[in-house]
Amino acid sequence: MVLMEARVLSVAIRRLPQDVYDFIVNPANLPQWARGFALSVTKDEEGWVVTTSDGPVRIAFVDHNDLGVADHYVTLKGGQQIFNPMRVLPNGEGAEVTFTLFRSPDTSDERFAEDARLVRDDLQTLRSILERS
């Protein structure tokens, strides 16, 4: 059995968990906070399309739920799906957002470190946006 290396990145946000969850699972908000990933987002008859620096991809969040599960699948042009586990958890009077970044076998050390940096930056941007509003 082969396991992938994983990094769990998180950020505490001074907002109610439900507010944070609702903002995250709305794909139209991605360009505001996930700038390392989403340049723009559109919706078509099949779902949500994200324009990235590597071209268009599809994104689909799991069904809306009361547990703060914001897992989502990114489908690349060739059909490969990437699973991204994400949670919004209660943290005192605010929320903790966690994102698990998996390293695929063909990802270099440098690329994995850069991906982790991008996710960290996106989580910090998310906090800044939500704590301002």
| Backbone dihedral angles phi then psi of residue 117, each to the nearest 5 degrees | -65, -40
Q: Cβ atoms within 10 A of the Cβ of 99, count?
A: 21
Q: Cβ atoms within 10 A of the Cβ of 87, count?
A: 20
For the purposes of burial, counting CB atoms within 10 Å of the CB of 11, is it exposed (0-12), middle (13-18) or buried (19 or more)? buried
Cα angle 58-63-67, degrees, rounded to a multiple of 5 = 125
Confidence of residue 122 (pLDDT cuts 50, 70, 90): very high
* pLDDT digits 0-9 by tens, 17-27: 999 999 999 99
- Please compute the mean of the pLDDT values over residues 32-60 and round it to a whole number: 96
Q: What is the mean pLDDT of the chain?
A: 96
* pLDDT digits 0-9 by tens, 60-98: 999 999 999 999 999 999 999 999 999 999 999 999 999
- Rounded to two decimals, the pTM is 0.94
Give the domains, in start order, of the chain with CATH numbers: 6-132 (3.30.530.20)
